[in-house]
Each structure stands twice: as C-alpha cells, then as structure tokens.
C-alpha cells in the first residue's frame, strides 16, 4: 500500500460484523481461562495481553499503524514525546555509558540529556550537526552506545544529515536514533537512510489537533544487538526467568525489551482514549502535511522579503544552508514550522507576537491552527546563553507553526504583527 492508504487502513482490519473504526478498549484488565494461562503470559508477555500499563488493543492498533508508516517491524507508544526519548535510550544505556547527540535539538530534550541523564551516570556528548565526519568520530568514547539527532531540529530548523551520522554510528557498532517529529513519515522515513530507531512526539503533527499527549518508539529491526557491545540483549534477563532477547525475539529484540522491561517498570503508556484520538489524526496526516508545507513555503517567502526580518530559517527556501539536505531528505516539503528573527531583538519579537490576532501564542507546535512561540523565554528558557547559541537560538527568534487556515489570512495576520513594530 502507498503511505496515504496506510494512514487509513494499517493497524486495524475489522472482521465480519466488527466496528469499522478502531474501538476504544477502555479496560485495564484481561481475562484468562485458567491459572496456567496467566502463568504462561507472565513467562512471555508477548503471547497475550496482561495489563493496560504496557499493552492495550486500541493502543496496539496505533502502534502497528505507525510502524507501517515508518517502515519498522514494531512500535511502542508512550505517554509523551519526552518519554519516548527517555525510553529509547534507557533501553540500551546504563550508568557509566555515554551517547552522542547533536546540539540543535528540542530544549526539553537538551535538559533530559545534559542534566537528568547526568544524574543517572550517563554522559551526553554534544556535537555540532554540521561537524565534519572526523570531528564526529573523535567524539566517540569506548563506552559510547548510541547517536541521536532530530530530522528537522526544533526550533533551529537545521536538517540532520541522516546518512552521514548513520555511517559513523555503524562504524562504531552503535545505533542511530532519530526524532522524526516535524517531518512525520509522510515527508521523511529515516530508516530508509540508515536510522535504526525512530521516535516521535505524537502530540504534534501525528495528532494535529492538540487533543492528546503522546510519543512513540519505532524499531527498524536492522541493528545487530549481538555485536558484543550490548550484553543486556544477549545475556539472560534475571527479571524474566533468564530470557535472552536476541535468541527469543530476533530482529524484534529491541522493541520487545523496551516493552517488557521499561514499560513494565515505568508504566508510561498512553490510555486507549488517547490512542483513539491519535488514530483519528493519523488518518488525515498525509492530507494535512501537504497543506502545511504549501502554506509554510508561501509564508517563508513572505517573511524573507520583509524588511523587519533579520533572517528566516526554513529548509524549503533556496537561501537556506540546509536546502540541499532538504532536497535529499524532504523532497515533498519541509513541514509547516518556520523560525525567523525579527530585527530589534527580544523586545521586538514580543511586540510582534502580542499584536497577532489569528495566530495563538501558545506552548505548542504542529497544530491545525497557526501558533507562535518565543523559544528563548519558553521552551528553551532553562538553557544557558552558550546553550542557546549552540541550539541556534537568539532573543529575536520566533517559532511560527503555520496552520491549515487560508494562507491569505495567515499573511494578513503577520502583517498586523509587523505593523506594530
């Protein structure tokens, strides 16, 4: 099936007389015929459902759909995008390990990597996404276990060179984990370029309507966990009767381990109701992404020509230093998110935003409605000045999430903002 069709049909196929729409299974508990049946599922939770803390039929239908969209062999939904980032790495890291991440990532993720992981004894080594290959290779240590990046960085809008980082990660026998939230699999499928694990904040474009908070981890099934660097996959798991994941689950070892260990222990699983809302968003994802990209391209070109704008970051613009990478990885569009710098710094940016009427000033992005945010005082407020510079953010930067309104109305609203300067 083509990807537009997968958005509608993957994950759930009703049988004779069953509901056409994915049903909401609003139950925490599942019934078994005998005590032996219950015992068997605790020996191997993949055989049946145990508890909705880590598996539920409604959520699993959505997991199957997203895995199909990304081209993976399995997926696990989480209660937030942050939980997806956390679990994707904790599934392979422990105290004493390190991993590499690009600097231009979401501010909350920077805090997770630089502060919270540090408390766990895990080191994050930050590298410039535009660094030369030899510089990236030099960042590796003997205990480095993964590489992380965002396809389109939030909010710097840099484009991650997936193939370059995948090649270097695989030279060092570690997986590449890519946050594909902004492009979604409609615009880019990182596994086709060498990514091993893909994550999303499903609260953004996948949902699109700002009605649920969630995340997802997708496993490509391509990484060799038995290469000698990851004994937790090849040695007995004492919490599951000596189970060896690579032997029992083969290519699905990573995603099964994430569910059986981390989701069992952390319980950061979404509700059936949330998954139902997410599925509704996924069904229209392909249609919406086309409109987001078309509107954003027009808006970016308008901003670039405005005398009050110092710079515009949008990979769809020919002037963007990431335009060539966007042509390679994002040929169908660069999402609906634009970041631009207003002349006059922070005060001018705030004045511009407060004058808008159509666009909402909110802590969100990738909604059906146009919204704006001042990253330096909001999502990246906790960063130091040096970290802000490394993340590609200055005081005059505005993150503009272009919605599905008529683009003429969006442009008219932006003109009101500029008139206030």
**Could you read off the pLDDT of 293-306 as tens digits, one per residue?**
999 999 999 999 99
**Model confidence pLDDT, tens digit, residues 336-395:** 999 999 999 888 998 999 999 999 999 999 999 999 998 877 666 666 767 777 777 787
User: Domain spanning 3-280 has what CATH number?
Assistant: 3.40.640.10
Q: What is the reported pLDDT for 240?
A: 87
39 — pLDDT class (breaks 50, 70, 90): confident
pTM for the model stands at 0.96
Average pLDDT of the residues in 47-58: 91
Q: Given a cut of 70, is residue 186 above it in pLDDT?
A: yes
Average pLDDT of the residues in 200-206: 98
Within 13 Å and on the Cβ side, how many CA atoms surround 391?
28
Average pLDDT of the residues in 282-287: 98
CATH class of 287-419: alpha beta
Q: What is the reported pLDDT for 379?
A: 63
d(C-alpha 374, C-alpha 399), whole Å? 6
Q: Which residues of 262-284 are buried (b: 16+ CB within 10 A; e: fewer)?
A: bbbebebbbbbebbbbbbbbbee
242 — pLDDT class (breaks 50, 70, 90): very high
Angle between helices 285-304 and 407-419 (to 10 degrees): 40
Q: Given a cut of 80, is residue 166 above it in pLDDT?
A: yes
Within 13 Å and on the Cβ side, how many CA atoms surround 390?
17
**Model confidence pLDDT, tens digit, residues 107-141:** 889 999 999 999 999 999 999 999 999 999 999 99
Would you kindly state where each structural domain of the chain is located, as residue ranges? 3-280, 287-419
């Amino acid at each position: 099936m083509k990807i537009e069709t997968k958005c509608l049909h993957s994950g759930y196929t009703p049988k004779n007389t069953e509901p056409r729409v994915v049903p909401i299974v609003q139950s925490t508990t599942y019934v078994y015929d005998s005590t032996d049946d219950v015992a068997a599922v605790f020996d191997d939770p993949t055989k049946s459902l145990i508890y909705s803390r880590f598996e539920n039929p409604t959520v699993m239908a959505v997991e199957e759909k997203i895995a199909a969209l990304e081209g993976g062999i399995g997926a696990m939904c989480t209660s937030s995008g942050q939980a997806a980032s956390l679990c994707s790495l904790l599934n392979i890291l422990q105290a004493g390990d390190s991993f590499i991440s690009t600097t231009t990532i979401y501010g909350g993720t920077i805090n997770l990597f630089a502060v919270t992981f540090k408390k766990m004894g895990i080191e994050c080594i930050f590298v410039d996404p535009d660094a030369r290959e030899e510089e990236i290779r030099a960042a590796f240590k003997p205990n480095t276990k993964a590489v992380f990046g965002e396809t389109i960085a939030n909010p710097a809008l840099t484009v991650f060179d997936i193939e370059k980082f995948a090649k270097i990660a695989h030279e060092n026998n570690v997986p590449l984990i890519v946050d594909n939230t902004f492009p979604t699999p409609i615009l880019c499928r990182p596994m086709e370029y060498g990514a091993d694990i893909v994550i999303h904040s499903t609260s953004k474009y996948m949902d699109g309507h700002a009605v649920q908070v969630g995340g997802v981890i997708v496993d490509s099934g391509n990484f060799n966990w038995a290469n000698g660097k990851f004994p937790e996959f090849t040695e007995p798991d004492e919490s599951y009767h000596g189970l060896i994941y690579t032997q029992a689950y083969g290519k699905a070892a990573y995603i099964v381990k994430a569910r059986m260990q981390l989701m069992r222990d952390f319980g950061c699983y979404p509700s059936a109701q949330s998954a139902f809302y997410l599925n509704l968003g996924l069904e229209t994802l392909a249609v919406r992404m086309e409109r987001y990209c078309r509107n954003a391209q027009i808006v970016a070109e308008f901003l670039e020509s405005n005398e009050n704008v110092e710079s515009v970051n949008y990979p769809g613009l020919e002037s963007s230093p990431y335009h060539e990478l966007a042509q390679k990885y994002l040929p169908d569009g660069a999402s609906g998110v634009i970041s631009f710098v207003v002349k006059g710094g922070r005060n001018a940016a705030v004045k511009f935003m407060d004058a808008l009427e159509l666009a909402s000033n909110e802590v969100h992005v990738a909604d059906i409605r146009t919204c704006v945010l001042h990253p330096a005082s909001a999502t990246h407020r906790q960063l130091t000045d040096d970290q802000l510079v490394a993340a590609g953010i200055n005081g005059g930067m505005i993150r503009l999430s272009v919605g599905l309104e008529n683009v003429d109305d969006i442009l008219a609203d932006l003109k009101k903002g500029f008139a206030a300067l």
